[in-house]
Structure 1
């Protein structure tokens, strides 16, 4: 009869089990509460208090006023501390793999057996803050090339649901398909998107923001300013280049002209040689004249002899 009553009381108490939700960030500390309503009437030295995870692995055990480590699983050794005042177990250096449900049992151990006084279920969720989305310029912005950007955010949890660009004075969300990767060890996610759009007509500058969203958070990048390069420096460059080319062409033309003039002078006969030739020609003519006069008497005297 007494055993039947004990079983009935145990079932009744467990049916009133408390359920609590707890949240922690990666690498921080999680609280696993186990508030005991009858703590004022019972000493901790009379109780057995322990926590176990969803795989029934023991995190911590306080046995009749003393910590008992024999039954604690190796993965939790050195990672817990018990707050006796608040009846809370603190789990340190939380990782994504620690996410799940934990049970706390408070038992009384009379000489006749064990009575479960209270069971508390804690659902632990774990979050990792993503790095601030970072925008990078893939190609210099020009009117022809447009905007070519990428955005990345790393090491976060839970899995992202959306990632996009917002542009000045526009409510539209821009960006190609989001790429998601997950680290096999840490189970953290990274996400990235890209943007390729023509620069709006009539606009010289605009601001772009990258936004990452999950079910529980939204994080934005710093504003990224895009400005088309000034046209004046480009015109000045071409003017200077054109002037340099013009000067070079003029110099080349002058050189060619000087060379042609020089060659013409080399091909033309010199004046001294022309004068000598003329004098020789005149001298020859005089010699011919003198020879004819000398021959006339001889010709005249030769005629009678001929008769």
Structure 2
């Protein structure tokens, strides 16, 4: 079985892919043929009798090979470099070794951007559409999140020109917010992660109107008010007549008394004068 080794690198870095043979100090590269190829069919670099006889145009000015341990160096690494590489060494037309190396390339995603859009609002709750997006990374990521440290599942979608192109990822979440809540969005790719958090506040803190009193309370209150008004009306009509008639009776009695006293007074005067 062919020996396989996994090498990881990020876009823009310099990476080394080790071969399976080292030229002895007593020999030179002139006795060997060395082939570095990608995905079996594409030759990256080839040496024969100590001289480079081929280099793929996509690797121009980005590759070099160590002339003793036959390590292939690639710099700067690109997303398209992701894949399987094979180092084949021949001596006198006999295969000395054949080794496969898997190069896994990653490109950092942007920091996730969280946006919240209110779709409906009321005193009790606020309905929001939460969108989390990140772009420019590789390989295809996974998007995850949490609400107040409780895991949630995003409805995710990805956009990429090809399987060896940067990815843009967008996740959506429908929330019914009844109180302030902290939402976290994480984009994970090949052991790396980028995260962002956002505090969502319930927007409408309106005052709930007071509950009206029961029907029987309203009815009793109306009866009391009507009774009070009738009492005032009757009192206003009755009291003036009663007071007036009482005053008239008092005036009549006073007049009678005065008329009775007058003759007595005149009689006394007459008696005095006769004496």
| Same fold, judged at TM 0.5 (above) | yes
Specify every segment of 5 or more residues in structure 1 that has no aligned partner in the other structure, as ranges.
1-14, 236-307
Tell me the equivalent position of 1:100.
Answer: 83
2:43 paired residue among 46, 58, 71? 58
1:95-114 Cα shifts (integer Å, max 9, x gaps): 333322222122223xxxx2
Counterpart contact for 1:135–1:221, Cα < 8 Å:
no
Tell me the equivalent position of 2:270.
Answer: none
Counterpart contact for 1:107–1:117, Cα < 8 Å:
yes
State the Cα distance separating 1:141 from its structure 2 match. 9.7
State the Cα distance separating 1:21 from its structure 2 match. 1.9
Change beyond 3 A, Cα 1:104–1:172? closer
Q: Is 1:227 the counterpart of 2:201 in the alignment?
A: yes
The structure in which a higher percent of residues are helix is 1
1:158 paired residue among 139, 146, 160? 139
SS in 1 for 2:185: strand
* d(CA) in 2 for partners of 1:86, 1:37: 4
Change beyond 3 A, Cα 1:185–1:157? closer
Superposition TM-score, scaled by structure 2 size: 0.63
Tell me the equivalent position of 1:211.
Answer: 186
Q: Is 1:79 the counterpart of 2:62 in the alignment?
A: yes
1:3-51 Cα shifts (integer Å, max 9, x gaps): xxxxxxxxxxxx7x54322222234333221142553442223322221
Superposition TM-score, scaled by structure 1 size: 0.57
Counterpart contact for 2:9–2:104, Cα < 8 Å:
yes
* d(CA) in 1 for partners of 2:194, 2:58: 36
Tell me the equivalent position of 2:97.
Answer: 118
Specify every segment of 5 or more residues in structure 2 that has no aligned partner in the other structure, as ranges.
208-275
Structure 1 runs of 4+ aligned residues shifted over 6 Å read none
CA RMSD of aligned residues (A): 3.0
